[in-house]
Structure 1
């Protein structure tokens, strides 16, 4: 899995891990913060939340254009600096007045623009590593590893967001609303870590930064493939078709921070016990990940000593899990944001599984093309929301009431087992693994060399449009039966999958 990859992959992946850790720590509590701190309705909070997500994924288009002209490395560094200022503003507790709202919106704009310079261009640099013929066949697996690293950061984010907020309340005496800002401050620290990793290990990927001065100094630069105008048009058309489809995946998938978080807050049991309770301790999930990776190492290692180490890791991890189970007494409190840890957990745990499956299929000449994997991902996402539709039949419409301070307050109306959301995140993650890393890999492979930055930006623009459409989760929340809300997302995923299959021959021509 990790063999034969360029060294620069790991440096770039770790730099991205730090940035994503801060981003997802902030995002885990952001929708709830908007409702509690400013007294916003579910729909208004959803509009701000989705608009922010849209900005985060729309600005990479401009970031890519700038990088095509000035170099990817310069834009990555500039992006981190701008993001830092944005998170710093967001970390300042100013209350819930108009000034605080304006500062918060300005912070979101800076974070969005900074991310636009950083995120897409870092991924182009990863793709550039595989332009070398020595690594070309490992492009898909490389992006799977890169995507896994992103989710390592996201795995710990919900726990950090909840714990740092609780610590600020109980130890430092901050009010509930002001304590949210400590969750946002975590992002500032994570960006310092990211930029440190980037520059310490820069020598391993400096040739991918796209700066013309690099070539002048004699660094190894892979020659760009020259395409005819017709080939360029064909590739751009294929990419635009894929972009059109993934809009609807992200519209549905990123409900995890909005309507699925609302569902966790208002419809899901707020406590768990026994084995179920262990799932809400992130360190238990880390132990499971160790077991998965050690299991693969046990079967793939070529030496007895490596196999012995792998077996010892498995035995130790299982032993710790058993011991921790015996220490559970009573119920464990379950807070809504913590459910967002399951998606990154599944990504990290299942990446070697998916890579092994596709590796076996590739060895037999039966591995699906990237566009076909994307279409399958849409079907899997539709299946997840179909399950939600089924289990939501009979549940009441979401409700709100006015609190003593005159602010609208969401009402907890049901105690659905947490296992439902845990299972839904598992299915959605299967869809994500089929679509997202494969889509990014497809863009890096197919994009005409002169437009790499812009085309990677196009991928993020599609994601941005999908994120803007996330607002439908907030608009539908409390206005239609719960099952109907999920049915909308199920429907758009199915329609997008049908369209993808209809265009498959055209898409596979450029693979």
Structure 2
């Protein structure tokens, strides 16, 4: 897959993979953590989540400007890792659910946002710079697809890591996760619990610890403290992953150091050496037209990210409150990390067997296929007949589908390119928006007849009618297809069209548009309560469809600047 690409692509992709593993480990449990520890309502949780996500993706705009003008891209990346490390370390420290705890948490989140601002966009700029070389320029779209897949390899393992660590430390206290307990415990401690809720809490408490119902206040305090502490240890995983990421970035610096040069630095170097500047110069009119085209694309993707990042908010609520927490039969396969890894090994072995011409490559593919298939069969046969799942584990499906579908999307686009029929990057973005609308149509259909969240408060917020996990899995699958059409193609488009003097800033602009979409995630979170669920998902369907229609209406303008 990395054949005929510069070596720096592999290094930068792996460095980003480490950072993303830590970030998505944190994100998998973040909403559950702040509700469990502080007892925040869905509205408050939505606001905090949206503000955090928006800053994570908005600050790269300023990080790009600072890198373009002063720091350089490599130094900005290193600074970002250092700042993020401090943020994750603070978040991993157990604190009381009081003012000090809140200050510590918000301070940690701010540091993570600032660090990401220096890291994310500038690493992407380095990758784009590798493909400014005419030797590699035709492979830019494929490069960003590969880069995007590596991001999702890190994201794939993150939910399982978060679940394993938090369940382990919760289990050390003799407790297990139950979705109803945090809300009921806070209702008891806040003196807002109903008689029905008290009865339910007593039953659940005795199921955790024999006789715990005799002191419900003590049990409620214990459960909240131990669950919150377990999540803290889950956040510590991110610290380790950042160390690995930085090590990769520094040890293999030679593979990308030749493109770690900003337009300002290049001009200064040319001036000092007395040679004519080699920096590409655009006229003011060309620069303006490119920036306008990019801003139009940014306006469209806002609504994709508003929809997509419901995975960490309302879709997590849906997984917790409306989706079966115990599964049997073949459904168990998708919730076993070992089984899914074996499937990926077998899948890539099959691809190698079919596509690689050399005999040794085919033999290697056949061995990987056999090992993966046998491993998956053995893991599945040794699984318990019924397994319990936690809400955060659903977030592993999106990166899993990215890993599986990326070779297919690369193959499809390569096949179309050879025939001169490959859609342009803006056209792919428009198609992605249509597919995203289909994804939420699927979830809306699976939500018909379910009670509203507001009607479930007295019983801990969990519905008596629980739907199959396959509704969420199917939605994630369809959203992943949309993402493959939109996100890596958007990164490639920004890399290709950005004026040379503003590369870092424009990559930051893409992320800033993502930030606006992330902030708007909260708008859907505010609807979580009295609104019927199918109506809530329907709002996202309409937003995606309108965005798709808009981008197709300006397609000629976008395709003109992309040539």
Q: TM-score, normalised by structure 2?
A: 0.87
In 2, distance between residues paired with 1:402 and 1:151?
35
Q: CA deviation at 1:215?
A: 5.4
Q: CA deviation at 1:278?
A: 1.3
Would you say 1:423 and 2:474 are equivalent positions? Answer: yes
1:52-451 mapped onto 2 (5 Å cutoff):
52-70=52-70, 71-171=72-172, 175-210=226-261, 212=265, 223-399=278-454, 409-451=460-502
> C-alpha offsets along residues 350-395 of structure 1, whole Å, 9 cap, x if unaligned?
1110000000000000000000000000000000111111221211
Q: CA deviation at 1:290?
A: 1.6
Show the counterpart of 2:516: 465
The counterpart of 1:480, out of the listed 528, 531, 537, is 531
In 2, distance between residues paired with 1:45 and 1:242?
29
In 2, distance between residues paired with 1:461 and 1:402?
36
> C-alpha offsets along residues 261-286 of structure 1, whole Å, 9 cap, x if unaligned?
00000000001112210110112212
**What stretches of structure 2 of length at least 5 have no aligned partner?**
175-224
In 2, distance between residues paired with 1:198 and 1:493?
37
Is this contact kept in 2: 1:50–1:469, CA < 8 A? yes
In 1, distance between residues paired with 2:383 and 2:15?
36
Indicate how the Cα distance of structure 1 residues 326 and 48 shifts in structure 2: closer, same or farther if over 3 A, else same.
same
3-state SS of paired residue (2:529)? coil
Task: Report which stretch shifted further, 413-422 or 251-260.
Answer: 413-422
Is this contact kept in 1: 2:426–2:558, CA < 8 A? yes
Show the counterpart of 1:35: 35
3-state SS of paired residue (1:393)? coil
Alignment root-mean-square deviation, CA:
1.8
The counterpart of 1:452, out of the listed 503, 508, 513, is 503
In 2, distance between residues paired with 1:186 and 1:399?
35
Q: CA deviation at 1:223?
A: 4.0
In 1, distance between residues paired with 2:343 and 2:288?
46
In 2, distance between residues paired with 1:291 and 1:320?
9
Is this contact kept in 2: 1:266–1:413, CA < 8 A? no
Q: CA deviation at 1:411?
A: 2.4
1:11-50 mapped onto 2 (5 Å cutoff):
11-50=11-50
In 1, distance between residues paired with 2:338 and 2:406?
19
Is this contact kept in 2: 1:28–1:340, CA < 8 A? yes
Is this contact kept in 2: 1:266–1:414, CA < 8 A? no
In 2, distance between residues paired with 1:143 and 1:68?
21
In 1, distance between residues paired with 2:536 and 2:335?
27
Q: CA deviation at 1:69?
A: 1.0
Runs of 4+ in structure 1 deviating by more than 4 angstroms, as ranges, are 213-218, 400-403
Is this contact kept in 2: 1:400–1:409, CA < 8 A? no
Q: CA deviation at 1:415?
A: 1.4
In 1, distance between residues paired with 2:539 and 2:411?
34
> C-alpha offsets along residues 415-460 of structure 1, whole Å, 9 cap, x if unaligned?
1001111111000000000000000010000000001011111101
> C-alpha offsets along residues 85-141 of structure 1, whole Å, 9 cap, x if unaligned?
111111111121111111111111110011010000000000000001111111011
> C-alpha offsets along residues 51-98 of structure 1, whole Å, 9 cap, x if unaligned?
100000000010000000121111111111111111111111112111
Q: CA deviation at 1:328?
A: 2.5
In 1, distance between residues paired with 2:278 and 2:513?
29
Is this contact kept in 2: 1:271–1:333, CA < 8 A? yes
Is this contact kept in 1: 2:8–2:255, CA < 8 A? yes
Q: CA deviation at 1:227?
A: 1.2
Task: Report which stretch shifted further, 100-109 or 291-300.
Answer: 291-300
Q: CA deviation at 1:311?
A: 1.2
In 2, distance between residues paired with 1:43 and 1:479?
12
Q: CA deviation at 1:323?
A: 1.7
Is this contact kept in 1: 2:430–2:551, CA < 8 A? yes
In 2, distance between residues paired with 1:372 and 1:107?
39
3-state SS of paired residue (1:59)? helix
Q: TM-score, normalised by structure 1?
A: 0.96
Count of residue correspondences: 505
In 1, distance between residues paired with 2:231 and 2:451?
30
3-state SS of paired residue (1:279)? helix
In 2, distance between residues paired with 1:230 and 1:93?
55
Is this contact kept in 2: 1:398–1:413, CA < 8 A? no
Is this contact kept in 2: 1:378–1:431, CA < 8 A? yes
3-state SS of paired residue (1:367)? coil
> C-alpha offsets along residues 159-216 of structure 1, whole Å, 9 cap, x if unaligned?
0101101111223677111111011111111111111110000010012222638958
Q: CA deviation at 1:313?
A: 1.1
In 2, distance between residues paired with 1:402 and 1:360?
53
